[in-house]
Structure 1
Amino acid sequence: MSTKNKILIVLDVYEDFRQGPDNFPIEIEKALKFITDKAQTQLILIGCGFEEYLHDSYSSFAKDEVDIRKQYVDKLEERLASVANKLAENGYKVESKIHWAYPRYEQIAQEAEDYDVDLVVQHVNGASQEDRHLLSQDSWQLVRKCKRPLLLIRDRAWPSHPVLMAAVDPMHSHHKPLQLDDKIMQTALNAKAELDGELHVVHACSAAAHPFTSPEKIVTKHQEALDAFMGNYDIPAGNVHLSEDKPITALVDYKKQLHADIIVMGVVSKSRLADTLVGNTAEKVVDYMKADVMVIRP
């Protein structure tokens, strides 16, 4: 049974849509895999357009520019509507909207709240190294702003039974709220069921980062906390992993070992400093791991 009643899909209306195996943009193809009942799930396709010289604040903005902007937006709406119409022909409930907005992540985050969506899907990867950095920065800003579960995807299609990897912190070493790990697990379990996938759970204890305590004691404490936490869930023992490395290193290593397709992780920030600290880990995960990332907030 699907837990996704509303899914907001962000499409890049400036570029040719990246086509998946079923000839829909890859963002849509992955979103559709969460749907078990077309009648119960609404899809909202969002595109954001903006050109500075066509904005109201531009110094030479006049009636000609107003007409040009309207033609420009009409063209973007036509592109998005063509995808929405194809989805409707396949029996999906769908609507599409183009926004004239910059920065676009603020508009997307607001739309997610206004529609009360269960999931936001956005592509994260650019074609070039420069584009990849810019898009990942845009996606990171969306991580900071979006309060809804956010799936950042790449071009690679999922296998028939994708591998999910949930990153938890039962010791709350990074000041995460107690309920965040449970939210991560519930989200990962729901996705596992919807995608008919395989779920692994990873916790990193950074044993070497505590110079005044023996690594053995640290590992023991973290193992006990992990065992106690996992006692609430029916996950095979062989699918629960404790790493002595730092979180980013552990995630990279286990992603390679498990061939993980989707990483489910939590972020929390209570100040600008926390934003920076969380960003260092989250941006590395988004930028350097060849996997899709589902971000959960408290």
Structure 2
Amino acid sequence: MTSPYRRILVAIDCSDESAQVLSRAAGVLSGNDGELHLIHVIEPLALAYGADVPMDVTDLQSGLMTQARETADTYAGRYQIPADNVHVELGSIEKTILDQADKLDADLIVVGSHTRSGLALLLGSTARGLVPGAHCDVLAVKVDQKGS
């Protein structure tokens, strides 16, 4: 039996838990007849902290993008995801993930979900927020908190 999911967009937060989310997505995509795409979205600092950021954050934003790209590429390498299928974007997290899924005509979006605080809380709320606007299935992977 082949998986009904041929094009899967995996949203990661570039934390150590991203491996669990990718592992689950790879498991859903059985065989070699499908493709995984990886996305990591960085919210613009001005959007995250309000428009009144008191300094020029261009260099900081650029550094975050570079670091995120390197981390995403590392995860992609573990699952033989081609560089063209790795998307590191700047924008509103939910909207950017949904737009990329539509652009790719994805069959499934896979995202981590947990009940923690800080950045982990943000991704947890992202999992819930994706469902209403998604044109495909959304799989929220319950992330194991052991060792963190």
Q: 1:269–1:278: 8 Å Cα contact kept in structure 2?
A: no
- The structure showing larger relative contact order (alpha-carbon pairs under 8 Å, at least 6 residues apart) is 2
In 1, the alpha carbon distance for the partners of 2:109 and 2:2 equals 16
Q: 1:207–1:219: 8 Å Cα contact kept in structure 2?
A: no
Q: 1:277 to 1:223 in 2, by over 3 A?
A: closer
Q: 2:13–2:40: 8 Å Cα contact kept in structure 1?
A: yes
- Residues 49-88 of structure 1: CA distance to partner in whole angstroms, max 9, x if unpaired? xxxxxxxxxxxxxxxxxxxxxxxxxxxxxxxxxxxxxxxx
Q: 1:196 to 1:202 in 2, by over 3 A?
A: same
TM-score norm. by structure 2 comes to 0.74
- The one-letter code matched in structure 2 to 1:196 is D
Structure 1 residue 228: Cα displacement: 3.0
Q: 1:33–1:195: 8 Å Cα contact kept in structure 2?
A: no
2:29 to 192, 208, 211: 192
Gaps of 5+ in 1: 1-31, 35-157, 173-177
TM-score norm. by structure 1 comes to 0.40
1:283 to 125, 128, 147: 128
Q: 1:248 to 1:187 in 2, by over 3 A?
A: same
- Any residues of structure 2 matched to 1:140-151 within 5 Å, and which? none
- Residues 86-107 of structure 1: CA distance to partner in whole angstroms, max 9, x if unpaired? xxxxxxxxxxxxxxxxxxxxxx
- The one-letter code matched in structure 2 to 1:166 is V
- The one-letter code matched in structure 2 to 1:197 is G
Structure 1 residue 281: Cα displacement: 2.1
What is the aligned-residue identity percentage?
A: 27
- The one-letter code matched in structure 2 to 1:189 is A
Q: 1:235 to 1:162 in 2, by over 3 A?
A: same
In 2, the alpha carbon distance for the partners of 1:200 and 1:275 equals 21
Structure 1 residue 200: Cα displacement: 0.7
In 1, the alpha carbon distance for the partners of 2:127 and 2:82 equals 27
Question: Does the residue aligned with 1:231 lie in a helix, a strand or coil?
Answer: helix
Residue equivalent to 1:241: 87
1:270 aligns with 2:116: yes
2:67 to 214, 221, 225: 221
In 1, the alpha carbon distance for the partners of 2:125 and 2:9 equals 20
Question: Does the residue aligned with 2:106 lie in a helix, a strand or coil?
Answer: coil
- The one-letter code matched in structure 1 to 2:22 is M
Structure 1 residue 219: Cα displacement: 1.6
Question: Does the residue aligned with 2:91 lie in a helix, a strand or coil?
Answer: coil
Structure 1 residue 217: Cα displacement: 2.4
Q: 1:218 to 1:277 in 2, by over 3 A?
A: closer
- The one-letter code matched in structure 1 to 2:21 is I
Structure 1 residue 218: Cα displacement: 2.4
Aligned length: 134
In 1, the alpha carbon distance for the partners of 2:19 and 2:120 equals 22
- Any residues of structure 2 matched to 1:138-177 within 5 Å, and which? 158=4, 162-170=6-14, 172=15
Structure 1 residue 265: Cα displacement: 0.7
In 1, the alpha carbon distance for the partners of 2:69 and 2:128 equals 27
In 2, the alpha carbon distance for the partners of 1:167 and 1:238 equals 15
Q: 1:216 to 1:183 in 2, by over 3 A?
A: same
In 1, the alpha carbon distance for the partners of 2:120 and 2:36 equals 28
- Residues 255-279 of structure 1: CA distance to partner in whole angstroms, max 9, x if unpaired? 11100110111011137x9997556
- Any residues of structure 2 matched to 1:1-298 within 5 Å, and which? 33-34=2-3, 158=4, 162-170=6-14, 172=15, 178=16, 180-194=17-31, 196-208=33-45, 209=48, 211=53, 212=55, 213-214=57-58, 215-270=61-116, 277=122, 280-298=125-143
Q: Which one has the largest radius of gyration? A: 1
Q: 1:238 to 1:267 in 2, by over 3 A?
A: same
